[in-house]
Amino acid sequence: MAWLLLSGLALAALAGGERSARLTELTAESERLHAVASQRVDQHDAHLTALSAIAVAGAEQRPDLFREVAGAIMRFYPRIIGISLVPLDGEDGVLEIGVREADLRELIRSAAQRSTGAPVLVRYPSDRPAYLIVKRSPNTDAARFGLALIIDASALLDGDSAYWMQAEATRRLALPDGTLLVGVTGNGHTPQFASALSSGTQPLELKTAIRLTVSDILPPGRVALVLAVIALSAMALRTLGRQRSKARAAEARAELSGLETRLSHASRVNALGEMASGMAHELTQPLTAILAQAQAARHLAARGDMDRVARILEEVIGQTRRASAILERLRTWTQPRDRKAEQIDLRECIRVAETLLSAQAAELDARLTLTMPSTPVTVEGDRVELEQVLFNLMRNALDAVVESTGAREVAVDATRDGEMVVIDVSDTGPGIRPDVQDQLFTPFFTTRESGTGLGLALSLRLVERAGGDLTVVEAREGARFRISLPLARTAREAAE
């Protein structure tokens, strides 16, 4: 639509431009013609003066001289098609060179009698595009002759310009009173150039016009060029627009990816901090155990009880392995992790956590009860991570039962539920304070003096990584945390 409008405007501008160019050309050609014609009519005055002088000097006695001069003038100026000398008082002594017609004499006579000094212009009395310029001679009231030059008006306009050959260019020449000499009347178009010839005696009206056709003002070649230019511009604009919006989209993408990079960096840094703090938290356990066991071993070694020392050293080795596994996790956390999902029997993870906590449970006089299916409950995930989750939940439970006045019991209950395995870790502690329920899984949120607030946050992250979920569920007494994990595919198939 816009392009149509633009094309319309451009063509209108082209037409306007062409039209004014054509008119300028017409004006220039007309002015040239006007100058030439004005010069030509001026010469007639000189001829009239010369011929009048001869006539007054004795045309009657020397008609041959008059004829000779008149003939010479006409030869020299072919547009002068006749020269007549007509006595005002009769037919005797009429001298006619060139065109001669009886009714011309009367015309010349009456024109000379009308003259008050200035030559009189008369239309030639036929279709011939000619006029007579009549002077009385001598040029006084005692004039005896009428002297006339008969002029082919069309020859006044002769020239070498091809411009006037074209049918569209028209010229009109008229006597000052409007009598048409050359050209056509009423051909429909108003003159675009009109000017009287600059002559005192023959101010003939020159009028010209050019008829402009559609192909004149809209030359097909230029129209095609203009349309091509517009089409090319439109295409260029569109391409430019596309490139711009592409560039803008690219910028937006770059900005977004920059934002993403910053965000992911921030979250990595955050997670790393979380993890490092968590590691310290988790490492405290095996290190404390190693310290206690090493002290006991030193004591037993002093007593020479090498059997028990060997057993304790076994436990130390186990705790050390656990510590190094935790450190290994820290390493893999910080590096791009290529986790090969392992098939794990969750019952083993539960037992590992129980082993790690049994000493503490005994110390606290708390009972750890495990209820598990007799067949493997296999999930896909990271063994150390899932052990860590169970360890965290069971240790939290032990921490909680200490605050209870009643029985100190921690129960771990693993069951299959369709394609899922559900492990509930419940305790007989005071339960979760209602005001902290929403913040449990927020990193660093803790109600314990020595707590880090990372246990649950980390556990949730690790369970989610294994494709599962960790939630708090309603319990009759104490707290109950529930781990739900999808069973490994092979385990599900075996169960079916």
Residues of this chain that interact with ligand ADP (CB under 6 A) are 396-397, 400, 427, 429, 432, 436, 440, 445-448, 451-457, 479
Task: Supply the minimum distance, in Å, between the C-beta of residue 392 and ligand ADP.
Answer: 6
Question: Helix, strand or coil for residue 200?
Answer: coil
Residue placing its CB nearer to ligand ADP in the complex, 380 or 424: 424
Task: Supply the minimum distance, in Å, between the C-beta of residue 431 and ligand ADP.
Answer: 6
Spatial separation of the C-alpha atoms in residues 105 and 86, rounded to whole Å: 6
Spatial separation of the C-alpha atoms in residues 413 and 347, rounded to whole Å: 10
Residue placing its CB nearer to ligand ADP in the complex, 185 or 437: 437
Task: Supply the minimum distance, in Å, between the C-beta of residue 333 and ligand ADP.
Answer: 18
What residues have CB less than 8 Å from 159, skipping those under 6 apart?
A: 32, 33, 36
- For residue 43, give the amino acid letter: Q
Other beta carbons within 10 Å of 203: 16
Task: Supply the minimum distance, in Å, between the C-beta of residue 389 and ligand ADP.
Answer: 11
Between CA 240 and CA 244, with CA 243 as vertex, the angle to 5 degrees is 85
Residue placing its CB nearer to ligand ADP in the complex, 30 or 452: 452
Nearest to residue 275, comparing CAs of 235, 207, 336, 334?
A: 334
**Angle of the 383-402 helix axis to the 306-334 helix axis, nearest 10:** 110
Per-residue DSSP letter, 164: G
Residue placing its CB nearer to ligand ADP in the complex, 30 or 428: 428
Task: Supply the minimum distance, in Å, between the C-beta of residue 480 and ligand ADP.
Answer: 8
H or E stretch at 470: strand 469-473
Residue placing its CB nearer to ligand ADP in the complex, 97 or 357: 357
Other beta carbons within 10 Å of 194: 14
Task: Supply the minimum distance, in Å, between the C-beta of residue 440 and ligand ADP.
Answer: 5
- For residue 168, give the amino acid letter: E
Question: Helix, strand or coil for residue 51?
Answer: helix
Q: Which two tokens stand for residue 481?
A: 């945390």
Task: Supply the minimum distance, in Å, between the C-beta of residue 261 and ligand ADP.
Answer: 30
Task: For strands 409-417 and 367-371, give the pairing.
Answer: parallel
Residue with tokens 């030193």: 298
Residue placing its CB nearer to ligand ADP in the complex, 333 or 445: 445
Task: Supply the minimum distance, in Å, between the C-beta of residue 328 and ligand ADP.
Answer: 22
Residue placing its CB nearer to ligand ADP in the complex, 143 or 366: 366
From the number of C-beta atoms within 10 Å of its C-beta (0-12, 13-18, 19+), residue 363 rates as exposed
Residue placing its CB nearer to ligand ADP in the complex, 194 or 472: 472
